[in-house]
C-alpha cells in the first residue's frame, strides 16, 4: 500500500467538508496529521517517508468500525484487505516501545489483552513503530501541539490510571531518543506548533503532575479504607475461628464429663454389686 491508497481508504466515507468536521470523524484529521508528521520524521532519519506517511494515515483506521476497540478492529480490517504489514501499526501505535503498560486509559480490557499481548510478543519493535507512537502523541485533529498539552488532554478525557505516570515517562524518553537520532528537537522540526502551546508547556506539565499526584493520594486513601475493611473482615474471621475452637473445646470437655460420670456410675454399680 502507498500513501495515495491509504488516503483513499481513510477518506472513503467522507463526501463533503461538513462530514469531516463532524465530531465522530475527528480521528480522520488527526490521522492526516500523524501521516504528515511521520513522513517528516522518516525523511529526517533517511527512512522510507512514503511508508511512514502510509502507516500514519492508517494507524487509527479501526475507528471506522469501533472507537473503543479500534486497535484490534483496525488490525483485522487491514489484514482482511491483504495488508498484514500495515495492520501491525494499528496495534503497535498504542503501546510505546510495544510495551503494554505504556499506554493511555489504563490498558486493554481483558477481552483484548490476550490478543494484543500475544501479537506484541511475536514481533520485534521497529523504528516505524516508534515513529507512529510518537506522532500519535503530539498530533491533534487541528494540528501539532506539545506532548504536555496532548497528554493533559488525554488524561482529562480518559482519567488517571496506575500506569499513567509511567506512560508519560516512556513518551518523554521516546521523544528524547528520536530527537537524539534526528539531531533536532520535535518542536524545532515542527515550527507549526502554536507559540501559546509552547508557552504553556511548563504549566501544562505542572497540571499533569498534579493530576497524577492527586490520583495517587486518592489511591492511597482508597487503599487505607480498603485495608481497614480488610482488617475488620480478618478480625471477624479470627473471632469466628476462636468461637469455633471454644465450641470444640466445650464439646470435648462435655464428652469427657459424660465419660467421667458414666465411668463413676459404672464404678458405683460395680461397688453395689460387690457389696451385695
Residues within the interface to Fe ion (CB under 5 A)? 60, 136
Cα–Cα distance for residue pair 6/173, rounded to 1 Å: 30
Measured between alpha carbons, how far apart are the two ends of the chain, in Å? 116
Chain mean position to CA 151: 13
Q: Minimum distance from CB of 203 to Fe ion (Å)? A: 25
Pick between residue 73 and residue 136 the one whose CB is nearest to Fe ion: 136
Pick between residue 158 and residue 253 the one whose CB is nearest to Fe ion: 158
Pick between residue 90 and residue 211 the one whose CB is nearest to Fe ion: 90
H-type alpha helices, 93-200: 110-121, 127-136, 147-158, 164-182, 186-189, 195-199
Q: Minimum distance from CB of 44 to Fe ion (Å)? A: 21
Measured from the Cβ of residue 115, the count of other Cβ atoms closer than 10 Å reads 15
**Torsion of Cα atoms, 148 then 86 then 158 then 115, to 10°:** -130
Pick between residue 134 and residue 178 the one whose CB is nearest to Fe ion: 134
Q: Minimum distance from CB of 29 to Fe ion (Å)? A: 11
Cβ-contact 136, 144 below 8 angstroms: no
Q: Minimum distance from CB of 137 to Fe ion (Å)? A: 9
Q: Minimum distance from CB of 34 to Fe ion (Å)? A: 6
Residue 187, C-alpha cell as written in the block: 518542536
Q: Minimum distance from CB of 148 to Fe ion (Å)? A: 17
Between vectors from CA 120 to CA 117 and to CA 123, what angle results, nearest 5°? 150
Pick between residue 36 and residue 202 the one whose CB is nearest to Fe ion: 36
Cβ-contact 40, 138 below 8 angstroms: no
Q: Minimum distance from CB of 57 to Fe ion (Å)? A: 11
Q: Grid coordinates 494499528 are at which residue? A: 90
Residue 246, C-alpha cell as written in the block: 471454644
Pick between residue 37 and residue 193 the one whose CB is nearest to Fe ion: 37
- Among the listed residues 60, 38, 61, 63, the one whose alpha carbon sits nearest the alpha carbon of residue 51: 38
Measured from the Cβ of residue 85, the count of other Cβ atoms closer than 10 Å reads 14
Pick between residue 140 and residue 172 the one whose CB is nearest to Fe ion: 140
Amino acid at each position: 500500500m502507498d500513501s495515495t491508497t491509504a488516503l483513499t481508504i481513510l477518506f472513503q466515507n467522507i463526501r463533503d467538508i461538513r462530514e469531516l468536521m463532524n465530531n465522530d470523524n475527528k480521528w480522520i484529521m488527526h490521522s492526516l496529521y500523524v501521516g504528515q508528521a511521520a513522513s517528516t520524521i522518516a525523511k529526517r532519519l533517511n527512512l522510507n517517508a512514503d511508508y511512514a506517511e502510509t502507516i500514519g494515515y492508517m494507524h487509527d483506521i479501526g475507528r471506522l468500525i469501533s472507537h473503543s476497540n479500534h486497535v484490534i478492529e483496525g488490525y483485522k480490517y487491514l489484514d482482511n484487505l491483504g495488508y498484514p504489514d500495515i495492520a501491525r501499526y494499528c496495534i503497535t501505535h498504542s503501546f510505546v516501545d510495544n510495551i503494554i503498560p505504556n499506554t493511555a486509559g489504563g490498558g486493554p480490557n481483558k477481552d483484548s489483552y490476550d490478543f494484543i499481548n500475544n501479537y506484541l510478543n511475536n514481533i520485534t519493535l521497529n523504528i516505524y513503530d516508534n515513529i507512529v507512537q510518537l506522532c500519535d502523541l503530539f498530533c491533534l485533529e487541528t494540528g501539532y501541539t506539545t506532548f504536555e498539552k496532548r497528554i493533559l488532554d488525554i488524561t482529562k478525557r480518559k482519567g488517571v490510571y496506575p500506569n499513567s505516570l509511567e506512560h508519560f515517562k516512556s513518551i518523554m524518553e521516546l521523544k528524547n531518543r528520536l530527537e537524539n537520532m534526528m539531531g533536532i528537537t520535535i518542536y524545532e522540526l515542527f515550527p507549526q506548533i502554536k507559540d501559546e502551546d509552547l508557552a504553556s508547556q511548563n504549566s501544562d506539565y505542572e497540571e499533569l503532575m498534579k493530576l497524577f499526584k492527586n490520583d495517587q493520594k486518592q489511591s492511597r486513601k482508597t487503599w487505607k479504607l480498603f485495608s481497614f475493611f480488610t482488617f475488620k473482615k480478618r478480625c471477624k474471621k479470627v473471632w469466628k475461628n476462636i468461637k469455633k475452637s471454644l465450641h470444640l473445646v466445650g464439646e470435648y470437655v462435655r464428652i469427657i464429663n459424660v465419660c467421667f460420670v458414666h465411668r463413676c456410675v459404672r464404678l458405683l454399680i460395680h461397688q453395689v454389686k460387690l457389696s451385695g
